[in-house]
Amino acid sequence: MAKGCFITFEGPEGSGKTTQIAMLRDFLASRGLEVITTREPGGTPAGDRIRSVLLGNEIGCLEPETELFLMLAQRTEHLRKVILPAVSQGKFVLCDRYFDSSMAYQGFARGLDPQKIRDIHAQFLPGFLPECTVLLQIAPEQGLERARHGGRKQHDRIESEALDFHRRVFDGYNSLARNEPERFLLVQADGDPLQISHKIIAGLEKRIPVPGGKE
Ligand SMILES: Nc1ncnc2c1ncn2[C@@H]1O[C@H](COP(=O)(O)OP(=O)(O)O)[C@@H](O)[C@H]1O
Ligand SMILES: [Mg+2]
């Protein structure tokens, strides 16, 4: 069985991660590959409970460190129980948010030292980074507008943060991508979803041999 592959999707709220993950899943499945889709926070029963604390409006303000430790707790469960086993079984794992979200949100936007976030991951989690991270690029205003009109009546706890917070997330992602150009695939996320999907597939095919594709 071919070695599996771990691909993450990152980007501001409403950038189209959920939409594009579903399209990539269908494409890979049409090539006969085994694909699972998952998300953070979440991905396991405990992770889903932690998600409701992290995103619940009724929770109010959390200390940045509390957010970080909750993120790490759900990631530990998710990585050990879902992601690593699936990849070792040869599956493609498409994950909606991962390590870079902790860097962008708890680090760049909430003000925790990004290097300390890196260090704590290195100390407590298996060092496992995605083969590729698709960074969907959209102005924070436009993403929030889309998220607002996406059928959900209420913003979650993080979406409700001020525009300045979302700008720091956006800038944080760009800075992460500049430091690791070989891992990040930057894709403009405005325009026709199908065309965006084609760009993602073309970018991935250059980096990862997708069985059944041009190699
Ligand atoms: N390329 C696009 N152009 C316009 N609207 C889009 C596009 N991609 C997704 N959307 C819509 O924007 C909203 C947010 O998309 P979603 O995939 O849920 O983003 P995310 O998971 O990054 O928050 C949804 O209502 C979705 O249908
Ligand atoms: Mg989503």
Structural domain of 152: 5-207
**Separation in Å, CA 28 to CA 22, 63, 73, 117, 146:** 10, 40, 30, 32, 26
Grade residue 1 by pLDDT with cuts at 50, 70 and 90: very low
Q: What is the pLDDT of residue 140?
A: 95
Closest atom of ligand 1 to 15 CA is: 22
Q: Which of 142, 145, 146, 170 to mutate to test the pocket of ligand 1 (most atoms within 8 A of CB)?
A: 146
- Cβ–ligand 1 distance for 19 under 6 Å, the answer yes
C-alpha of residue 2 to centroid of ligand 1, in Å: 32
179 in a domain, yes or no? yes
Residue 41: cis peptide before it, omega within 30 degrees of 0 = yes
CB 187 within 8 A of CB 14: no
Cα 17 to averaged position of ligand 2 atoms, centre (Å): 5
Radius of gyration of the chain (CA): 17
In a domain, 197, yes or no: yes
For residue 159, give the ligand nearest its CA.
1
Tokens read off for 67: 């957010």
CATH number at residue 162: 3.40.50.300
What distances in angstroms separate CA 91 from CA 22, 87, 191, 196, one per listed residue? Answer: 16, 5, 30, 23
- How far is it, in rounded angstroms, from Cα 83 to Cα 87? 6
Residue 116 CB-half CA count within 13 A: 10
> Do the Cβ atoms of 110 and 22 come closer than 8 Å?
no
CB-based contacts of 189: which residues, under 8 Å, 6+ apart?
11, 15, 16, 20, 136, 137, 138, 143, 196
Ligand nearest to the CA of 143: 1
The residue nearest atom 24 of ligand 1, judged by CA position, is 150
Alpha-carbon distances of 26 from 77, 129, 153, 176, rounded to whole Å: 26, 23, 28, 28
For residue 20, pLDDT over 50 is answered with yes
The per-residue pLDDT for range 140-187, each reduced to its tens digit, is 999 999 988 876 668 899 999 999 999 999 999 999 999 999 999 999
Joined together, the tokens standing for residue 17 give: 């991660």
Would you say residue 212 lies in a domain?
Answer: no
Q: Which atom of ligand 1 is nearest to the CA of 12?
A: 22
Whether 214 is covered by a domain: the verdict is no
CA separation for the pair 39, 42 (Å, rounded): 6
Residue 213 pLDDT class (50, 70, 90 cuts): low
Pairing of strands 5-10, 92-96: parallel
Whether the CB-CB separation of 184 and 177 falls below 8 Å is answered with yes
Answer yes or no: is 101 within a domain: yes
Domain count, the chain: 1
The answer to whether 104 and 158 have CB atoms below 8 angstroms apart is no
Which atom from ligand 1 is nearest to the alpha carbon of 151? 25
- Regarding the beta carbon of 18 and ligand 1, being less than 6 Å apart is answered yes
**22 belongs to a structural domain:** yes
State if pTM tops 0.75: yes
Q: Minimum-distance ligand to the CA of 137? A: 1
Q: Report if residue 213 sits inside a domain.
A: no
Residue 31, in any domain of the structure: yes
Out of 26-40, 70-84, 200-214, least confident range: 200-214
pLDDT in tens, 59-91: 999 999 999 999 999 999 999 999 999 999 999
Please give the distance, rounded to the nearest whole angstrom, from the Cα atom of residue 88 to the centre of ligand 1.
31
For atom 2 of ligand 1, which residue has the closest CA?
193
